[in-house]
Amino acid sequence: MQTFYLFGPLVVAVAALVYAFTKATWVSKQDPGTERMQKIGSWIASGAMAFLKRQYRVLAIFVLSVAVLLGVSNAGLKDSHVMIALSFVVGALCSALAGFFGMKVATKANTRTASAARHSLNSALQVAFSGGAVMGLTVVGLGLLGLGTLFIIYSKFFGTTYSATDPASPLNLTLNVLSGFSLGASSIALFARVGGGIYTKAADVGADLVGKVEAGIPEDHPLNPATIADNVGDNVGDVAGMGADLFESYVGAIVSSMILGMSWYFGIAEHQGFDGMNAIYLPMTVGLVGILASIVGTFFVKTREGGNPQAALNFGTVVAGVIMIVGTVAALAFMLPREGTIKAANVITGRTDEFHWWGLAVAVIGGLLCGMAIGFVTEYYTATHKKPVEGLVDSARTGPATAVIQGLALGMNSTTIPVLLICAAIILAYMTGGLFGVALSAVGMLSTTGIQLAVDAYGPIADNSGGIAEMAKLGREVRTRTDSLDAVGNTTAAIGKGFAIGSAALTAMAMTAAYITKIGESGHTLNLNASEPYVLVGLLIGCALPFRFSAMAMVAVGKAAQDMIQEVRRQFREIAELRPALIAAQKAEMEEREPNAEEQAIIAAADGKADYAHCVSIATAAAIKKMVVPGLLAVLIPLVVGILSLEMLGGLLIGCTISGVCMAIFQSNAGGAWDNSKKQVKEGGHKVYGDAYDGMHKATVTCDTVGDPLKDTSGPSLNILIKLVSVVAMIIAPILMWIHF
């Protein structure tokens, strides 16, 4: 059986990748549409690649430097130094590869979705969802493949003998070097999510300010070099950024569960015919079941003409969920002794607890359901025509100030239920499975990431396809179809954001537990007594950290936008063909008419002359520059605090997680609700006309602008922050122990 547990996940992971590859090939083969559509599509695609190129160049240096640092700083641990650096590099590579592949396909699926929308709603849905599925299955496939392969290598090298009292036992060493994989994933996530978040909003603001305000040309005009950067931003933030974020959660949850699994080792081994290693294999097996469930689920995403794409996506997710529940119960019943209880060491209380096999199944399923519930709550708070957004729209009648206040209150209010859901998942998992159970509930929540992320990445593809249909002047019927796909995309985006925050929180807690366990293994029980001032101070600093980090991200958007503005102005000045075309476009816009034949000729002559790729590269550079300080903050603070006191670091991790999850939900939901309040006002039906309507609309536009960096930059960045500080702590634990003991 051991062979199966070792190689099973690899086989399924490869299957997921093959399936993703098939889907990608299928997407590529679809009709890319008219020449105009292909042109726009190629601009976006090459812009996205320019972003990745620039980003990966910096990342390569960063990753290699950290790898060397990791190797050197772990020099004291026998042979670990090379391996942990290797894990780190492989983790970074896998995440980067998933991002590259996912973006590549997403930018292809854009135009092809618009093209398919010329024929039928279902074929458009198929293309868009397939594009998303590639991202989803690549993330889980590469995650499990990377982890599984490294685990096999390390366990062959070190062996898997385990001793509860020796922190340098072979299994400890194996899992310790494996955790480098998680840090690698975090590095990419930091760049993709924080850098990408800054990038996407900087491009948005930059494009608007120079194009619309200064040059007086319409929004999304091809003459504006920043237009494509703006479109690229959607892919960067919502596809690659979200992908890297969930990749980090996925592998982080699995690795920390494997570490916590050690506490069940002897309890399982006591039973006749069972191997203690089953506890270590368990998280990867749950991942395996989740991938299978996700793949099957994708086959159930189908709709008819005039049907509701949301129902199709929901059906696929529910099917995956049901398979996941059945599969988990079956797998756990097989891997764990079903008779009698299983003893597990409790690193917190120092006692030995006893659990049943089904306890872990309850924990996994609890996590899965909790993730789904958080998604639905998020949707409730941010969707149009639901009570919260209705209230927000009402408050916009009296201007932007009241709407801003109402939105802030809405965001703050929306933290309560998700927090209580997370609390429920934690308590349930702890009661039925101890700390291992808590970590496994994070794995459970993330197990169906394959299809969850597919649904999520479907959103920006549908969104972009609508934009392309508009720019390429496709017919009204096509636009209706893409609109119907896009409307669903807003809902899935909200659900996805809630899911990402919830899973980040549970993952961070699992990693914190792994940090405590690692230190506990050395015989020094870490008592994080919150009333003990060092822990309390750690909690306080940790709690304040998300406030600082959010502020930095918000301010960075404004500053990066400045660099973008400079570059657009430079192109307007230096590219000869642009000036006459701009004047022509501006004249038509000022006179509120379509350009005449002569003007069209001038504009056409400049078509594609704007250097989109360079614009993207400049914005990327600015975004990456601006994320250095917050990034360093997230890495250095746990290091510095850890050197001061192990207890203070423990407090910091928990303080940062609890405050980070509240701040992330608050900001994401306030931003999402503001965005949708604008949409709802535009839809009309509020019995306001003329000036009153204009005022109300303008108020929601202001709110939407306020919410943009909150929901797309600072809010999601906190997912990364809370995981990054935890994974850094988990990685440096052996070094800190060497310092302190």
Question: Binding to a second copy by residue 138, rule CB under 8 A?
Answer: no
Whether residue 433 contacts residue 513, with contact meaning beta carbons closer than 8 Å, is answered with: no
Q: How would DSSP label each residue in 278-307?
A: HHHHHHHHHHHHHHHHHHHHHTT----TT-
Nearest distance, CB of residue 703 and a second copy, angstroms: 8
516 is an interface residue for a second copy by CB under 8 A:
yes
**Residue 149 beta carbon to a second copy: minimum distance, rounded to whole angstroms:** 31
CB burial class (10 A; 0-12, 13-18, 19+) of residue 391? Answer: middle
Compute, in degrees rounded to 10, the torsion defined by CA atoms 436, 452, 712, 63.
60
Applying the rule CB under 8 A, the residues between 692 and 711 that interact with a second copy are 702-703, 705-706, 709-710
Q: Residue-wise over 124-141: b if at least 16 C-beta within 10 A, else e?
A: bbbbbbbbbbbbbbbbbb
CA angle 720, 722, 728 (to 5 degrees): 90
Cβ-based nearer residue to a second copy, 342 or 428: 428
Beta carbon of residue 702, minimum distance to a second copy (angstroms, whole number): 5
Nearest CA to 738 among 168, 87, 89, 79?
Answer: 168
Min dist CB 409 to a second copy, Å, is 4
For the CB of residue 420, give the shortest distance to a second copy in the complex, in Å: 7
Site membership for a second copy, residue 655 (CB under 8 A): yes
Q: Does the footprint of a second copy cover residue 399 (CB under 8 A)?
A: yes
Residue 544 as a binder of a second copy (CB under 8 A): the answer is yes
Label residues 290-323 b or e (16+ Cβ within 10 Å = b).
bbbbbbbbbebbebeeeeebbebbbebbebbbeb
Q: Does 263 bind a second copy (CB under 8 A)?
A: no
- Would you say 536 or 643 has its CB closer to a second copy? 536
Q: Which is nearer to a second copy, 25 or 527 (CB)?
A: 527
Check binding of 659 to a second copy (CB under 8 A). Answer: yes
Selected binder of a second copy within 400, 444, 460, 631 (CB under 8 A): 400
**R_g over Cα of the chain:** 25
Given a contact cutoff of 8 angstroms between Cβ atoms, the answer to whether 268 and 336 are in contact is yes
Helices 242-261 & 170-189 angle (0-180, nearest 10): 170
List the one residue from 262, 455, 526, 588 that touches a second copy (CB under 8 A): 526
Q: What is the dihedral of CA 636, 641, 646, 650, to 10 degrees?
A: -80
Shortest distance, CB of residue 260 to a second copy, whole angstroms? 12
Which residue type is seen at 556? A
Nearest to 196 by CA among 493, 624, 546: 624
DSSP alpha helix (H) spans, 448-475: 449-471
Pick from 543, 613, 616, 634: which binds a second copy (CB under 8 A)? 543
Give the footprint of a second copy on residues 153-212 (CB under 8 A): 209
State the first-to-last Cα distance of the chain, in angstroms, to the nearest integer: 40
- Cβ distance to a second copy smaller for residue 82 or 423: 423
Please report whether residue 536 would count as binding a second copy according to CB under 8 A.
yes
- Please pick, from the candidates 1, 97, 540, 688, the single residue that binds a second copy as defined by CB under 8 A: 540
CB neighbours of residue 570 within 10 Å: 15
DSSP-H helix ranges across 190-234: 196-207, 225-234
Collapsing DSSP states into helix, strand and coil, what is residue 201? helix
Q: Is 49 in the site for a second copy (CB under 8 A)?
A: no
Residue 272 lies near a second copy (rule: CB under 8 A): no
Q: By CB under 8 A, name the one of 60, 69, 311, 405 that touches a second copy.
A: 405
Q: Which is nearer to a second copy, 131 or 638 (CB)?
A: 638
Min dist CB 74 to a second copy, Å, is 25
Per CB under 8 A, 547 contacts a second copy: yes
Coil, helix or strand at residue 49: helix
Taking alpha carbons only, the member of 717, 565, 557, 681 closest to residue 625 is: 557
Using the rule CB under 8 A, which residue among 282, 537, 616, 696 binds a second copy?
537
Residues 557-616 that bind a second copy (CB under 8 A): 557-558
Minimum CB–partner distance for residue 1 and a second copy (Å) = 32
Reading the block at residue 39, the tokens are 């042109």
CA-nearest of 156, 513, 570 to 348 is 513
Q: How many CA atoms lie within 13 A of 210 on its CB side?
A: 27
The least CB distance from residue 546 to a second copy, in Å, is 8
Report d(CA 192, CA 195) in Å as an integer. 6
CB of residue 82 vs a second copy: minimum separation in angstroms?
A: 32
Token code pair at residue 334: 């097989």
The region of 60-68, 95-103, 140-148, 651-659 touching a second copy under the rule CB under 8 A is 651-659
Query: Mask of contacts with a second copy, 343-362, x by CB under 8 A?
Result: -----xx-------------
Stretch that binds a second copy, among 74-82, 156-164, 301-309, 534-542 (CB under 8 A): 534-542
Pair type for strands 342-345 and 352-355: antiparallel
According to the binding rule CB under 8 A, does residue 377 interact with a second copy? no
**Which residues, 6 or more positions from 225, have their beta carbon under 8 angstroms from its beta carbon?**
567, 568, 571, 610, 611, 612, 614, 615
Q: How far is the CB of 563 from a second copy (least distance, A)?
A: 16
Q: Work out whether 511 is an interface residue with a second copy (CB under 8 A).
A: no
Q: Does 260 bind a second copy (CB under 8 A)?
A: no
Of 25 and 566, which has the nearer Cβ to a second copy?
Answer: 566
CB of 401 to a second copy, least distance (A): 4
Residue of 532, 562, 583, 609 that binds a second copy (CB under 8 A): 532
Closest CA to 384 of 10, 39, 681, 67: 681
Q: What is the closest distance, in whole angstroms, from the C-beta atom of residue 660 to a second copy in the complex? A: 10
In the numeric block, which tokens belong to residue 104?
């590549």
Residue 579 tokens read as: 């000036």
Span 409-438, contacts to a second copy by CB under 8 A: 409-413, 415-416, 419-420, 422-423, 426-427, 430, 435, 438
CB of 554 to a second copy, least distance (A): 4
CB-wise, 230 or 486, nearer to a second copy? Answer: 230
Closer to a second copy by CB, 537 or 582: give it.
537
Q: How far is CA 502 from CA 2, 495, 498, in A?
A: 33, 11, 6
555 binds a second copy (CB under 8 A): yes
Contact with a second copy (CB under 8 A) among 19, 51, 101, 534: 534
Please list, in sequence order, all residues whose beta carbon lies within 8 angstroms of the beta carbon of residue 549, skipping any fewer than 6 positions away: 630, 633, 634, 714, 717, 718, 721
Site string for a second copy, 439-468 (x = CB under 8 A): ------------------------------
Segment contacting a second copy by CB under 8 A, of 59-67, 318-326, 657-665, 676-684: 657-665
Is residue 539 part of the contact set for a second copy (CB under 8 A)? yes
Please, which of residues 708-737 interact with a second copy by CB under 8 A? 709-710
Q: How far is the CB of 411 from a second copy (least distance, A)?
A: 8
Note whether 549 and 633 are within 8 A (CB). yes
Piece of the chain touching a second copy by CB under 8 A; list 15-23, 46-54, 465-473, 506-514: 506-514
Count of residues that bind a second copy according to CB under 8 A: 74
Q: Which stretch binds a second copy (CB under 8 A): 116-124, 153-161, 478-486, 541-549?
A: 541-549
Nearer Cβ to a second copy, position 11 or 420? 420
